Structure formats: C-alpha cells, structure tokens
Amino acid sequence: LWTLPRAVAEVEAIRRALGLREVHLLGQSWGSAVAVEYALTHRGAGVRSLVLTGPFLSTPRWIADANVLVAGLPADVRRTIATADSTGRYDTPAYPECAQVRGNDEIYRRMWGPSEFRATGTLRDYDRTARLAELRLPVLLVAGEHDSARPETVRDYARRIPDARVVVVSGAGHAMVVDEPAVTVGAVRGFLREVER
C-alpha cells in the first residue's frame, strides 16, 4: 500500500467521493511528488494549479542537497552521520533527528530509508525532473530559506516548468508554514487568487 501510484489513486478517490470537478492541489515535501504524479497522469482532469512546498521531485537532487547541508554541520555531527552510514546504525542517541516530527516510522523507512540523508527505500530512484516541462498549468513552488529542498534546487525545478513561479520564505526551514505561517499562506493565497482570475 505504501507506493506512489497508490497515493495518486487515493487523491483520485477523494476527488470522486467529494464530487470535486476542479481542484488546486498543494503538496508539501513528498506530497509534491504525489501532486506532480497526479497532474501528469490525470491530464485535463480539472487540476487548475499546483502548489509545491518544500518539493521533493527527485531523490538524486534531494540527496545532493542533503550532502550540501551536511557539509555545513559541525564536524562531530558529520562524523556521527558518516558512522551511521557506514555501520547501518541510525538508532544511536547522537544521531540527528528532526525535532517534532511524528508519524509512522515504518512507512518512512520502507519508502525513503533509515535517515533523511540516505535513500534506500522504494523512492530511492524517484526522479521527475525530465517530465516537469509537461506540466501545462499554473505552478507555484515555495521553499524555505533554510529548506532541505534548497532554494537553488527549487529554482531549477521552476526553470523546467513553463510559467512556474517561486517564492522563498526568509528565515524558514522545510516546514515553512509552521516557521512563517503568515508569509507562506499569503503567498499561496495570492497565487490562488491570480489563478482564479
């Protein structure tokens, strides 16, 4: 059940159950992959726009960005990450974890892997960058200034999508709607108002 096609099918099931003829889809992080896959596989199915926040659209890019971010960490943290990668032991107390993240760790490990810095799960080869030009609808990409979906990468995604827009939320990380809710929600609302005009 923990696959991208299943997640896309669930979006369609929700639309049908609610009778939604037209929708704006917002995907956060991995949800961006779901939104993009839905738009690519349901062309012309009433998707008015996409909002992709902290977008995960390519595992190779995500890992490359993670490596850049890890390189900026203190030496002792970098050593802890390197040791975990070489031994496969990610459950040590010294290993960095995302604060306040709750969820099903089994799903995360199955789909992604043992840590944010290492992809070994079912998404390890995921990459939609080559198909982003097929998105022929309004798209807003939002990144936090300190996002694990680095602003440079998000801008590159936008260059591949016809008429896409980018907003970088100053001072925010990957959870920009938590870090800077007024700015993030304001950007999304402004974009949706434009699309609806």
CA atoms of 139 and 153, how far apart (whole Å)? 15
Out of 58, 115, 147, 148, the active site residue is 147
Catalytic status, residue 49: no
Q: Which two tokens stand for residue 52?
A: 């992709």
Burial of 142 (0-12, 13-18, 19+ CB in 10 A): buried
Catalytic status, residue 146: no
The sign of the torsion formed by the CA atoms of 161, 166, 171, 173 equals: negative
Q: Is 27 in contact with 50 (CB distance < 8 Å)?
A: yes
CA atoms of 48 and 192, how far apart (whole Å)? 9
Q: Token pair 């971010």 is at which residue?
A: 69
Out of 29, 32, 58, 148, the active site residue is 29
CA atoms of 42 and 14, how far apart (whole Å)? 14
Catalytic status, residue 174: yes
Out of 32, 58, 115, 174, the active site residue is 174
Q: Which two tokens stand for residue 128?
A: 């939609």
Write out the catalytic residue numbers: 29, 147, 174
